[in-house]
């Protein structure tokens, strides 16, 4: 039985309790990012394992980027966005890390290749854009946007989100100046009051306060921001 034949609860159970076997290190990954298969009770799924021990140290983030991967998943779930593949915190062959469900998508397709042709995906891109501002994502590269065969948009690689200082870096600027829909504002509003505990517990106090501040700013302005400086792009872009 493969990943797509299992329901969400079964996938979660296997992600949390299954036995992890490393298949290979992902090409182009800056940290040690592994494709793994995870087996439990005769069922196997594929996932991405990022052990903390494989992180390249960064000057602007404390070690433990895997916790931010999990925080992003939990925030996306709490807000009812559901675009981050199921991600759990657990032990693995190289120690504690994040384990995220693998999404099957065409590797030649990413944000830049699909934006023009796929108007039907724009609502999903808007939701992701809004989330990235809230999460202060510093690495929304085009390749961190995947589309599966059911036209569902997924966002990956959230290890460098949630810094307290504003340092958004994203390729999604097409909505700049547009009003944020009522539907999305309703998802932001609760975060102006409180950050869900399951997210807050993974971050520093200062970082949690900063999420609420960004939520207030976004909710009050009710507009997608613009970047006149042109500096809020990640590098490389894809
Ligand atoms: N959940 C996922 N589903 C499908 N592919 C993924 C997933 N997570 C990572 N990948 C693939 O692995 C590559 C490296 O993962 P990424 O999260 O970007 O790690 P890094 O922190 O090393 O940049 C991605 O560009 C993507 O091709
Ligand atoms: Mg990456």
For the chain, list the domains and their CATH numbers. Answer: 3-221 (1.10.510)
Give me the chain's average pLDDT, please. 96
Could you tell me the CA-to-CA distances from 42 to 19, 23, 93, 165, 228 in Å, in that order?
11, 18, 20, 46, 54
221 Cβ partners below 8 Å, 6+ apart? none
Closest residue to atom 12 of ligand 1, CA basis: 26
Ligand 1 centre and the CA of 101: distance in Å? 11
In sign, the C-alpha dihedral spanning 70, 75, 76, 78 is positive
| pLDDT tens digits, one per residue of 122-150 | 999 999 999 999 999 999 999 999 999 99
Ligand 1 site, CB within 6 A = 26, 29-31, 33, 48, 85, 100, 102-103, 143-144, 146, 156-157, 159
For residue 79, list its beta bridge partners.
none
Closest residue to atom 17 of ligand 1, CA basis: 157
Ligand 2 centre and the CA of 163: distance in Å? 17
For residue 155, list its beta bridge partners.
145
| DSSP calls for 180-227 | PPHHHHHHHHHHHH---HHHHTTS-HHHHHHHHHHHHHHHHH-B----
Ligand 2 centre and the CA of 15: distance in Å? 21
| pLDDT tens digits, one per residue of 175-218 | 999 999 999 999 999 999 999 999 999 999 999 999 999 999 99
């Amino acid at each position: 039985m493969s990943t797509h034949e299992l329901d969400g609860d079964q996938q979660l159970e296997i992600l949390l309790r299954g036995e992890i076997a490393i298949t290979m290190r992902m090409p182009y990954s800056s940290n040690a990012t592994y494709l793994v298969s995870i087996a439990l009770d005769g069922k196997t799924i594929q996932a991405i394992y990022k052990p903390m021990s494989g992180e390249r140290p960064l000057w602007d983030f404390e070690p433990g980027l895997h916790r931010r991967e999990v925080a992003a998943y939990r925030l996306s779930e709490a807000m009812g966005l559901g675009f981050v593949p199921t991600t759990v915190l657990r032990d693995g062959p190289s120690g504690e890390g994040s384990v995220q469900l693998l999404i099957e998508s065409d590797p030649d397709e990413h944000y830049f290749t699909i934006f023009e042709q796929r108007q039907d995906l724009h609502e999903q891109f808007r939701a992701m854009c809004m989330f990235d501002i809230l999460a202060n994502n510093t690495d929304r590269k085009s390749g961190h946007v995947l589309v599966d065969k059911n036209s569902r948009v997924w966002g990956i690689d959230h290890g460098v989100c949630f810094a307290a200082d504003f340092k958004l870096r994203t390729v999604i600027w097409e909505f700049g100046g547009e009003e944020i829909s009522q539907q999305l504002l309703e998802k932001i509003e609760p975060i102006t009051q409180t950050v869900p505990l399951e997210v807050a517990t993974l971050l520093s106090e200062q970082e949690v306060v900063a999420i609420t501040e960004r939520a207030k700013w976004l909710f009050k302005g009710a507009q997608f921001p613009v970047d006149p400086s042109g500096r809020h792009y990640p590098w490389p872009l894809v």
